[in-house]
Structure 1
């Protein structure tokens, strides 16, 4: 049996890992898998070395209190790889942890493939030299990433964006009836995100018409915290958990209030007009402003090179501004139609040459083996 070691550090990487396992098994049934994963990979029979919620941290200062624990988990994972001697290691996103892991694996002579290119086009382009010393190939999600890494000598496979395989486009509004205009509220899957964004989102709702129904997405690690904070919204809320239920909610809702990240692309796939919001620690934000090199936070906006989705980042992330931007979307009409046209334009640029993104990724991994 051939062993493949996967390392997914958070919920989005867990989804990628699960689809990759399924696509690899369809092509090479004798493969075995080990490493780090979450609920979705567990559905594929994958057993994780430790719970990946310990790695789901975001921000520069926010990570500091957990550095010792992260270092201990890094040691544990590197030792597990050295003991198992897999044919190949696939690190999935979470570059803060996974690229450090790749550096520890490289001296073992085991090839490393990194799935989801680090965003050197957005900030700290100088990282590419260090990345070139740690990985043997990158599986890129975005079409413009390959030339940036190939210029540094890193082979790249553009595999397309996994959002194209998302259940978000398969929702059925009839399975999720709402008594008024539905507003999808996605505060994130990390405690820091929920703590900073959900109070702002609650104030935003108070500025919207009373008939608007908030529909809150629940992620595994923060589900109970989100439910508890939603009790202070001052109106009945609906909750969704799991990709299929979320897809039905997307289909039934009128608009979305969504933290910056993959959830915004999910909304685009579902054709749901929305606004993007994000806020981090002020010191983290000050550092990021010196490093970030792109105009937009939303991938839809980056792919279209214009603001299709309104963005409210840091000091602009206020209840007043969010409510003003949401009202025309909740009313439908031209504002909503313009966003949907932009979604189609952006998503057309995310497809691989053939097949599904997970299939393209599986082919690239098997080629490395």
Structure 2
């Protein structure tokens, strides 16, 4: 049986990996899987080498205390890959970990695919010089990435963005309101603080205070990301208005459909909300040391993928020192009471999502074809 070894380091990569596994198996039922993943990949048959939460870190200041443990997990992963000798290694996003795995595997003859191009177009473009030889295929989610890598003599393939397969736009607002006994006049606000411990620790208190400052009461809904679900449960118990916590994707998408507005961190969550047509405000905070370093290196104008795709600020961004409860509350209040601003955002959503569609098939099908092209014939 051909063996595909998949490695990811965070929840978003776990979802990509699970869809990729499903698409591969639908074409090649004889393929088996091994590697590092989370609950979604486990549901597709992966027995993860270690728990995904061990790698759920972000930012220089957050990673440094865990450096010894991360190096241990890196060595363990590389040793497992070499022992199993898979037909293809697929690393998914999480460049801080996965690119180091690829570097360690570079002397081998193993076929390698990296899924989700490193965002070197955003910052530290000089890192591109370290990429030649790391992979046989680079799969990109954003349409402008292949041209960027071509300028550096690196081949890359646009496979489309997997958010299009998420089902985020298929929620049922009436079902959500009925299930949670909400009144027609209740205003639902989705709050998305992230899927990493550091994100949640920094953002949740700010988001709570912002909701308190709104002149009219709202019903907050917080989708729970696996690695931080228990932390979010604990930290929201003291909220004056206890939020509705949802853990399943179907419930999250129903919440989107019922939401008047969303307050979210930057990242894939913005694309999910756009697919659900939910007007939003983007915010983010990192460790101040990490922020000072990143600010000197980041080259792009926007944090939101939507704004990057359209090259204009369709979605308001309040980041780091601007991520204050009073600023967030004022912008949320404006979105809740300005139909023209909402219409402008939704027009931008349609434009951006059209740019993310692959040439043929679905994103996971395109990615699966790239992986299968490296497998031996039946």
Give the TM-score band, short-chain normalised. over 0.9
1:196 aligns with: 202
| Structure 1 CA distance for aligned equivalents of residues 219 and 337 of structure 2 | 14
1:65 aligns with: 65
Q: Which runs of structure 2 are paired with 1:163-182 in the superposition (5 Å)?
A: 163-177=163-177, 178-179=182-183, 180-182=186-188
- Among residues 315, 321, 325, which one is paired with 1:319 in the alignment? 325
Q: State the Cα distance separating 1:136 from its structure 2 match.
A: 1.9
Q: Secondary structure at the match of 1:254?
A: strand
Question: Are residue 229 (structure 1) and residue 229 (structure 2) matched?
Answer: no
1:107 aligns with: 107
Q: Secondary structure at the match of 1:50?
A: coil
| Structure 1 CA distance for aligned equivalents of residues 216 and 349 of structure 2 | 29
TM-score by length of 1: 0.98
1:135 aligns with: 135
Deviations 1:96-130 (A, max 9, x none): 00000001112121021100000011001111111
Q: Which runs of structure 2 are paired with 1:220-369 in the superposition (5 Å)?
A: 220-331=226-337, 333-369=339-375
| Structure 1 CA distance for aligned equivalents of residues 227 and 19 of structure 2 | 21
| Structure 2 CA distance for aligned equivalents of residues 70 and 101 of structure 1 | 11
Q: CA RMSD in A?
A: 1.1
| Structure 2 CA distance for aligned equivalents of residues 351 and 29 of structure 1 | 26
2:10 aligns with: 10
Comparing 148-157 with 291-300, which one deviates more in the overlay?
Answer: 148-157
Query: Any conservation in 1 of the 2:5–2:86 contact (CA below 8 Å)?
Result: yes
Query: Any conservation in 2 of the 1:137–1:154 contact (CA below 8 Å)?
Result: no
Query: Any conservation in 1 of the 2:56–2:227 contact (CA below 8 Å)?
Result: no
Q: State the Cα distance separating 1:152 from its structure 2 match.
A: 2.7
| Structure 2 CA distance for aligned equivalents of residues 41 and 332 of structure 1 | 41
Query: Any conservation in 2 of the 1:90–1:114 contact (CA below 8 Å)?
Result: yes
| Structure 2 CA distance for aligned equivalents of residues 26 and 225 of structure 1 | 36
Deviations 1:222-241 (A, max 9, x none): 11221222123211321111
Q: Secondary structure at the match of 1:222?
A: helix
| Structure 2 CA distance for aligned equivalents of residues 297 and 95 of structure 1 | 18
Q: Secondary structure at the match of 2:237?
A: helix
| Structure 1 CA distance for aligned equivalents of residues 337 and 240 of structure 2 | 22
| Structure 2 CA distance for aligned equivalents of residues 320 and 11 of structure 1 | 31
1:206 aligns with: 212
- For structure 1, the residue ranges without an aligned partner over 5 or more in a row are none
| Structure 2 CA distance for aligned equivalents of residues 305 and 252 of structure 1 | 29
Q: State the Cα distance separating 1:151 from its structure 2 match.
A: 2.9
Query: Any conservation in 2 of the 1:20–1:362 contact (CA below 8 Å)?
Result: yes
Query: Any conservation in 1 of the 2:78–2:101 contact (CA below 8 Å)?
Result: yes
TM-score by length of 2: 0.96
Deviations 1:10-34 (A, max 9, x none): 1000000000001001111111110
Query: Any conservation in 2 of the 1:206–1:233 contact (CA below 8 Å)?
Result: no
Q: Secondary structure at the match of 1:337?
A: helix
Q: Which runs of structure 2 are paired with 1:20-35 in the superposition (5 Å)?
A: 20-35=20-35
Deviations 1:173-220 (A, max 9, x none): 111103311010011111111111011001101111343101011111
Q: Secondary structure at the match of 1:29?
A: coil
Query: Any conservation in 2 of the 1:201–1:319 contact (CA below 8 Å)?
Result: yes
| Structure 2 CA distance for aligned equivalents of residues 114 and 251 of structure 1 | 34
2:75 aligns with: 75
| Structure 1 CA distance for aligned equivalents of residues 308 and 173 of structure 2 | 29
Query: Any conservation in 1 of the 2:124–2:297 contact (CA below 8 Å)?
Result: yes
| Structure 1 CA distance for aligned equivalents of residues 227 and 26 of structure 2 | 31
Q: State the Cα distance separating 1:8 from its structure 2 match.
A: 1.3
| Structure 2 CA distance for aligned equivalents of residues 31 and 236 of structure 1 | 46
| Number of aligned positions between the proteins | 369
